[in-house]
Structure 1
Amino acid sequence: MITDFRLPDLGEGLPEAEIVQWLVAQGDEVALNQAIAEVETAKAVVELPSPFAGTVAALRHDAGDVVAVGEVLVSFDVGGDAEQPGADAERREPNLVGYGAAPRAAGRPQRRSRGEARAGATDTAVREAAPHDAIAVSEPERELRERPRSTPPVRKLAKDLGVDLDLVAASGVTGIITRDDVEAYAERTTTTTSVSNEREERIPIRGVRKHTADAMVRSAFTAPHASTFLTVDVTATVALVEGLRADRRYAEHRIGIMAVAAKAVCLALTRNPDLNSSWDEAAGEIVRRRYVNLGIAAATDRGLVVPSVKDAERMTLLELADAIRALAETARAGKASSVELSGGTFSITNFGVFGVDAGTPILVPGEAGILGLGAVRRQPWEFEGQIALRDVLTLSLSFDHRLVDGAEAARFLTDVGDVLREPGRAMVLA
């Protein structure tokens, strides 16, 4: 019996996903919950589990195709009486919400690489065309067809640079192709080939970049943005961070200015709750949260994402530092979950890492404020009635003027600045 599997709602409310690679081929035997494909949504690259046990009858789309939720992705032969494809699919198909397949049990079919999948599909087609002939594929040929091992972000980088991963050699002992391998290959080929006559390049708008653009436009034209700035002497905070990093008891937590600023934000939000609220247009209500899900803007190969640290107000400085680092690493690897990428109440963006002093960040939709951290600069500053070299940074606050007036925005920014100027004040504010 042939049964169609339609692309499910992955729990993000997103209408489509791009097939990064197939992990199976036509004719493969698959087990229930075995990963059959990697798909990229507007937020992350995830593995798609099979809702059936059976044989892959047909792959309905190629790698690189953008598939709408509800569209037929793959057809399975699940045994039993024959029937028309898709006749009973919706009744049988489970409602898949969430990511990934269940752990593979012993004896289940092993996942195949994309190269093996292509080879398997070709072999099946040849056998169908000549069913009475035995087609032999040598091991060297199979090795040549096998897709090089790499991570989804590296494959995305290779695609953006026009690099064929089959031609890239892995430099490390693990045999995994890295970003450096791809970039080095792209640089070599660029310098050894003639300059293209094409004066323009067209890049499809999809994935994270499309989602981010839609969110920013929605935010800019829905919430009336206003901004305010404060330049702060953070010499004491820099000394605190350096001292904690030098202390063997805390060195592994890798505490930085971002973690201290995050703690300062959590404390300031308790004193200025309108910055931690949202505007519910449909209900005609202001929703004031008594918890802080702190969004951390992260620049990735696939675009800007803002995962959030849940219940950040309950965390110590060490816990915040660990959570922020783990969240950023997960986001940059393209593995952040839908839970991590939603539900934020206030956000921080650190454009100081790019050498920028100040800016006017756009609000994350549904949030009343976002704080930008500028670069820490050593410069002359008034200190105790004299001019001295001090560590200084600028705070940039954008806020929704429907929810927050200028006075409260100023109080919030001053509270954050006070903690960064004198970290001991956190003991008083807490």
Structure 2
Amino acid sequence: MVDTVKEFRLPDLGEGLADADLVVWKVQVGDHLELNQVIAEVETAKATVELPSPYAGTVAELLASPGDTVPVGAPLLRITVAVPAGAESGSRTGEDAVADEEAVAEKRPQVLVGYGPGAAPISRRGTRKTTTPDSETRPPGTLVRRPDAKPGARREAKDLGVDLATVEGTGPDGVITRADVRRSADDRVLPQVSSTGDETRVPIRGIRKRSAAAVARSAFTAPHATVFLTCDATNTVELVTRLRSAPPFDGTHLTPLSVVATALMRAVADEPSLNSSWDEDSQEIVVHHRVHLGVATATDEGLKVPVVRDAHAMRLPDLAGSIAAAAGNARSGEASPRELTGSTISITNVGVFGVDAGTPILNPGEAAILAVGAITDRPWVVDGALAVRKVVTLSLAFDHRLVDGEQAGRALAAVGAVLKDPVPTLVSSP
């Protein structure tokens, strides 16, 4: 056998992601590696990802430190790998064999565990693990199971630099809580966070860092404009209440937001400029024929925008279930990078915080975002008489390079009309 040193480089983690922050090493120099053993956990602008080793061997050198921002393609660590000393023909040298093996390795796709061929759709939160990933040997293509922890505990662990694999969970079924993380962090030197009696300073990194950069870029590159509409949503609220007990919606998290999303899909069909993007390099307007709906979701790690693909082709039960599932995966940290990229238009529900209205910032690369305020009882004129109705304010922000006020106004009025009388649209939706 001949020893050769392989470099593991940060793979492409998803559409448009140029780098990632190294959160924690799962191995140390001198550790023996099995194929697909988790070597590190990194955080991108979209999600936390565990990196598997493409080689079996011994860790020779770690090339980055926790907290470092590593560009895609940059080396992360070096692994000493033993290869056969010789080839199929006895006349070939050990160097030839090494060269052949390296050529094969270059052609082999470096896929993340759980995302490559043969990966099984296993829920991480459905499995309780007490052993660390270092102690396991996994066949290629199997999904790595992280220590089971609540989303808030994962955020706390990242802020405090705590490896969850070293924390004993005291929650139900051994789930790790924030208190467990804080207990594990006691008496440790934590350079990531500096705290005094007056303030605590937390480094800006990961999802928060990239989200801030994205919204700042969007605010200063796309000319934002916003139109508002306050409308009567009484019939929508009553319809949603009735439909929740109907068989097609059994087990579906149906909300007025689901109806708003359906109405937005109809508005996009009539006003396709809302589902477009501005290509500065080619100086072209790109009108997307498929609608991939981004759902702005508040999580413990910051704002995430999971994507419901082909939302325009969904009927109300499917769209409601897909929105709930996408938001749930984003909050639990189980959404993959692909599930958090590729939206063409977005929706955000500021009403869940009791907010009446807002002026949302466009998701970078999109032409429009619709904000839905709180649905509250307000005085409203019905047939010339004052009545108490369920009223909501909608805010449609748009890129004025792509969408004119006329188009935005028509689209928002169309959404409001559906909320006032939802049945005709829902009956005729795809």
Is the Cα–Cα contact under 8 Å of residues 26 and 134 in structure 2 kept in the other structure?
A: no
CA distance in 1, matches of 2:321, 2:55: 39
Deviation per residue, 1:106-146 (Å, 9 max, x gap): xxxx99628989xxxxxxxxxxxxxxxxxxxxxxxxxxxxx
Compute the displacement of 1:12 (Å). Answer: 3.4
CA distance in 2, matches of 1:88, 1:210: 42
Deviation per residue, 1:361-417 (Å, 9 max, x gap): 011111111000000101221122211111111000101111111111110001001
Is the Cα–Cα contact under 8 Å of residues 23 and 158 in structure 2 kept in the other structure?
A: no
Secondary structure class of the residue paired with 1:78? strand
Q: Do residues 289 (structure 1) and 302 (structure 2) align? A: no
Q: Do residues 99 (structure 1) and 102 (structure 2) align? A: no
Deviation per residue, 1:36-62 (Å, 9 max, x gap): 222211111112121112223343344
CA pair 270-157 structure 1, distance change in 2 beyond 3 A: same
Q: What pairs up with 1:260-299 in 2 under 5 angstroms?
A: 260-299=259-298
CA distance in 1, matches of 2:106, 2:208: 31
Which of 38, 45, 48 pairs up with 2:48? 45
Q: What pairs up with 1:193-342 in 2 under 5 angstroms?
A: 197-247=196-246, 249-342=248-341
CA distance in 1, matches of 2:131, 2:106: 24
Is the Cα–Cα contact under 8 Å of residues 347 and 369 in structure 1 kept in the other structure?
A: yes
Q: Do residues 399 (structure 1) and 398 (structure 2) align? A: yes
Among the aligned pairs, what percent are the same residue?
A: 52
CA pair 98-426 structure 1, distance change in 2 beyond 3 A: farther
Is the Cα–Cα contact under 8 Å of residues 237 and 420 in structure 1 kept in the other structure?
A: yes
Partner of 2:6: 3
Q: Which amino acid aligns with 1:99?
A: L
CA distance in 2, matches of 1:104, 1:415: 43
TM-score, length-scaled by structure 1: 0.79
Is the Cα–Cα contact under 8 Å of residues 248 and 317 in structure 2 kept in the other structure?
A: no
CA pair 217-184 structure 1, distance change in 2 beyond 3 A: same
Secondary structure class of the residue paired with 1:2? strand
CA pair 373-161 structure 1, distance change in 2 beyond 3 A: farther
Secondary structure class of the residue paired with 2:200? coil
Q: Do residues 113 (structure 1) and 113 (structure 2) align? A: no
CA distance in 2, matches of 1:282, 1:407: 27
Deviation per residue, 1:78-121 (Å, 9 max, x gap): 114799xxx9998645675653256799xxxx99628989xxxx
Partner of 2:34: 31
Q: Which amino acid aligns with 1:76?
A: I
Compute the displacement of 1:260 (Å). Answer: 0.7
CA distance in 1, matches of 2:102, 2:349: 46
Q: Which amino acid aligns with 1:53?
A: A
Q: Which amino acid aligns with 1:268?
A: A
CA distance in 1, matches of 2:216, 2:301: 18
CA distance in 1, matches of 2:72, 2:248: 49
Give the root-mean-square deviation of aligned CA atoms. 3.4
Q: What pairs up with 1:55-204 in 2 under 5 angstroms?
A: 55-80=58-83, 92-93=105-106, 99-101=112-114, 113=132, 150=149, 154-160=153-159, 170-179=169-178, 197-204=196-203
CA distance in 1, matches of 2:210, 2:100: 33
CA distance in 1, matches of 2:236, 2:182: 37
Secondary structure class of the residue paired with 1:37? strand
* Unaligned 5+ runs, structure 2: 86-93, 121-128, 137-145, 186-194
Is the Cα–Cα contact under 8 Å of residues 168 and 176 in structure 2 kept in the other structure?
A: yes
Compute the displacement of 1:320 (Å). Answer: 0.3
CA pair 376-427 structure 1, distance change in 2 beyond 3 A: closer
Q: Do residues 416 (structure 1) and 415 (structure 2) align? A: yes
Matched residue count = 386
CA pair 180-299 structure 1, distance change in 2 beyond 3 A: farther
CA pair 42-311 structure 1, distance change in 2 beyond 3 A: same
Q: Which amino acid aligns with 1:34?
A: Q
Secondary structure class of the residue paired with 1:356? coil
CA distance in 2, matches of 1:235, 1:166: 50
Q: Which amino acid aligns with 1:113?
A: T
CA distance in 1, matches of 2:292, 2:119: 34
Is the Cα–Cα contact under 8 Å of residues 297 and 303 in structure 2 kept in the other structure?
A: yes
Compute the displacement of 1:163 (Å). Answer: 8.1
Partner of 2:360: 361
Q: Which amino acid aligns with 1:8?
A: P
CA distance in 2, matches of 1:180, 1:314: 44
Q: Which amino acid aligns with 2:405?
A: G
* Unaligned 5+ runs, structure 1: 118-146, 187-195
Compute the displacement of 1:427 (Å). Answer: 5.0
CA distance in 2, matches of 1:111, 1:19: 23
CA pair 429-286 structure 1, distance change in 2 beyond 3 A: farther
CA distance in 2, matches of 1:152, 1:24: 24
Secondary structure class of the residue paired with 1:52? coil
Secondary structure class of the residue paired with 1:10? coil
Q: Which amino acid aligns with 1:265?
A: L
Is the Cα–Cα contact under 8 Å of residues 273 and 402 in structure 2 kept in the other structure?
A: yes
Is the Cα–Cα contact under 8 Å of residues 51 and 94 in structure 1 kept in the other structure?
A: no
Partner of 1:386: 385
